[in-house]
Amino acid sequence: MQPPLTSCLIPPGSNPLRTHHRCLIGLALIVAVGCGEEPSTPDRFEHLFSGNLKVIDLTHSLSADMPYWPTPHGNPFRHDTLVAHPDGSPIMAAYFTPEHHGTHIDAPVHSREGRRPVDALTAADLFGPAAVIDVSKQAAANADYRATLEDFQAWESAHGRLPTGAIVLLSTGWSRKWDSIAAYQNLDELGRPHFPGFSDAAATWLVTERDIHGIGIDDLSVDYGASSDFAVHGIVNGAGKFHLENVANMHLLPATGAFLIVAPIKIEGGSGGQVRLFAVIP
Amino acid sequence: MQPPLTSCLIPPGSNPLRTHHRCLIGLALIVAVGCGEEPSTPDRFEHLFSGNLKVIDLTHSLSADMPYWPTPHGNPFRHDTLVAHPDGSPIMAAYFTPEHHGTHIDAPVHSREGRRPVDALTAADLFGPAAVIDVSKQAAANADYRATLEDFQAWESAHGRLPTGAIVLLSTGWSRKWDSIAAYQNLDELGRPHFPGFSDAAATWLVTERDIHGIGIDDLSVDYGASSDFAVHGIVNGAGKFHLENVANMHLLPATGAFLIVAPIKIEGGSGGQVRLFAVIP
């Protein structure tokens, strides 16, 4: 809406008071129309639901060709077409998958008895602002890198305190390796994986000193690949918070300003499950 | 923010032109401050991501006890705990399910060769305003009820034209029967299910005369249970639109004003799959 400011120029020889009265009424109308509780022009909320906000899909597609937690049995995902079109595409199919496979969530019960299963997480837990901490340079130099407390404090120095309800994402560069199982698992000669994770100190600080919903990472585990005790799992799930693992397209996210919609498959009593994960960039 | 309108009263004996100049500047400031692109008070968008908007979960939990498409084999869902806590709750589990089971989406390829699989649907397809057409009274009187074109036209007479990108939900009363497999399937003595659906004429009108994203229903199929040709499937999927089936809590939705987030499991090449389905009530 363009304010009719040209009508507020005082024409030569006119009564300036009368002209200003007209302008005041005009401006008051602008205020009333432009600042009402229900704006007549679409706001960010409406843009989200009309396809006019940028949404980044942070979800890898599930397939038998994708990276998986290294085991001698290979990728456990199965997708079986039950009835097919003439071209072979499915009319109906069924699938088998572990819950913690592909882009997925670890519900708190995954690592701590008595904590919530996946179907007990609600929208109040699953929607929140994203804080993206980039350690891809450190991880490129050292695949066993664990993001330190200082990494998170440096992020806060640059971007301000982690917002309430944040979903704290560690961007390690691994989301770009998804097309190579070998690069993504990064096994040594003994078959042990090497990829970065959160440090125990950082995880403890995040769940005790800040008010977050959960954490996420763009590789196979929030604990670094060489971990033997999975301490970060115990710390974060133990505090009743969730993890997101194998997050896609993390390298496309800004450090702040994105909002996440975490949409897990709702398995009754599940320890986790596949998520559809959208980042909204307003 | 309260506009300082009292200062715009013209004091007796003052120069009215000068007073009005001050008022103009004041009002211009109100416009600038109150209508900026980044409001200082949280808007509906921020409320959505801070847990301050009402969100209704339209998703039933997946379990082996839930209703299913009637077959002699029973409910095909399996959820197997692989590693358990001492109390039996899962540390890790795996599951098997047909794609079209529980609260799920039919991707266009489900009913028409060459149409999009589930992983090709994007946020632009999956987010949109909900239009809820209530035929629960008709369905209570006749379980074979098919919502007519007139039902949708009557909805438009009451609520206005179906919005662009609408997800059109048929509320049949069936979402309240979910706890009883017998009531939900409603089989006759020959084992044929009886539940309501869309009529062919209404489905054709929705995809040709209106600009919608998809349709949904709170029972087992968008075609009524006694259907033998699944014509609505062919009409809607054939037009490249999706269906949602077994939508939960439909009876809690208003006729207009809700916005849907449809979040399908992202199966590569899948004909559909489980969705997490949130309705946001701003």
Percentage of residues of chain B with pLDDT beyond 90:
83
Q: How confident is the model at residue A41 (pLDDT cuts 50, 70, 90)?
A: low
Complex ipTM more than 0.90, yes or no: no
Best mutation target among A99, A267, A280 (most B Cβ atoms within 10 Å) is: A267
What CA–CA distance (Å, rounded) separates A169 from A185? 20
Distance from CA of A232 to the nearest CA of B (A): 15
What CA–CA distance (Å, rounded) separates A107 from B207? 39
Q: What are the residues whose beta carbons fall under 8 Å from the beta carbon of B103, sequence distance 6 or more?
A: A266, B58, B59, B60, B244, B245, B246, B247, B248, B274, B275, B277
Nearest CB to B49 within list A109, A128, A266: A128
Tokens of B164: 């662009």
What CA–CA distance (Å, rounded) separates A241 from A83? 40
Q: How confident is the model at residue B40 (pLDDT cuts 50, 70, 90)?
A: low
Percentage of residues of chain B with pLDDT beyond 70:
85
Q: What are the residues whose beta carbons fall under 8 Å from the beta carbon of B257, sequence distance 6 or more?
A: B281, B282
B264 near B272, Cβ under 8 Å?
Answer: yes
What CA–CA distance (Å, rounded) separates B183 from B139? 13
Q: What is the mean pLDDT of residues A42-65?
A: 94
| A40, pLDDT greater than 60 | no
Q: How confident is the model at residue A79 (pLDDT cuts 50, 70, 90)?
A: very high
CATH architecture of B54-281: 3-Layer(bba) Sandwich (3.50)
SS3 category, B14: coil
| Kind and range of the H or E run holding A129 | strand A127-134
Q: Which residue of B has its CA nearest to A37?
A: B43
Say yes or no for a CB contact (<8 Å) between A263 and B261. yes
Distance from CA of B37 to the nearest CA of A (A): 9
Beta bridge partners of B84: B90
Q: Please tell me the pTM assigned to this model.
A: 0.86
What CA–CA distance (Å, rounded) separates B199 from B144? 11
B35 near B27, Cβ under 8 Å?
Answer: no
Tokens of B117: 């699989």
Distance from CA of B71 to the nearest CA of A (A): 14
Tokens of B6: 């009292």
Residue A263 Cα distances to A181, A248, A271, B178, angstroms: 25, 14, 15, 22
Smallest CA-to-CA distance from B79 within A120, A46, A271, A21 is with A271
Largest Cα separation within chain A, whole Å, is 93
Say yes or no for a CB contact (<8 Å) between B79 and A269. yes
| B66, pLDDT greater than 90 | yes
What CA–CA distance (Å, rounded) separates A238 from A63? 31
Contacts of A257 in chain B (CB under 8 A): none
Tell me the pLDDT tens digit for each residue of A217-243: 999 999 999 999 999 999 999 999 999
Tell me the pLDDT tens digit for each residue of A150-179: 999 999 999 999 999 999 999 999 999 999
| A31, pLDDT greater than 70 | no
Given this model, what pLDDT does residue B160 score? 98
CATH 3.50.30.50 fits A55-281, yes or no: yes
Given this model, what pLDDT does residue B9 score? 36
What CA–CA distance (Å, rounded) separates A153 from B67? 50
| A85, pLDDT greater than 50 | yes
Domain with CATH 3.50.30.50 in chain A: 55-281
Where is average pLDDT lowest: A20-29, A95-104, A167-176, B119-128?
A20-29
Say yes or no for a CB contact (<8 Å) between A95 and B96. yes
Contacts of B92 in chain A (CB under 8 A): 98-100, 110, 271
| A251, pLDDT greater than 50 | yes
Tell me the pLDDT tens digit for each residue of A54-70: 999 999 999 999 999 99
Say yes or no for a CB contact (<8 Å) between A21 and B20. yes
Given this model, what pLDDT does residue B11 score? 39
Q: Which residue of B has its CA nearest to A105?
A: B92
| B192, pLDDT greater than 80 | yes
E-strand ranges in chain B read 54-57, 78-84, 90-98, 104-106, 127-134, 146-147, 166-171, 197-198, 212-217, 242-245, 259-264, 272-281
Given this model, what pLDDT does residue B10 score? 36
Given this model, what pLDDT does residue B146 score? 98
Distance from CA of B74 to the nearest CA of A (A): 15
| B217, pLDDT greater than 50 | yes
| B210, pLDDT greater than 80 | yes
Tell me the pLDDT tens digit for each residue of A2-27: 333 333 333 344 444 444 444 344 44
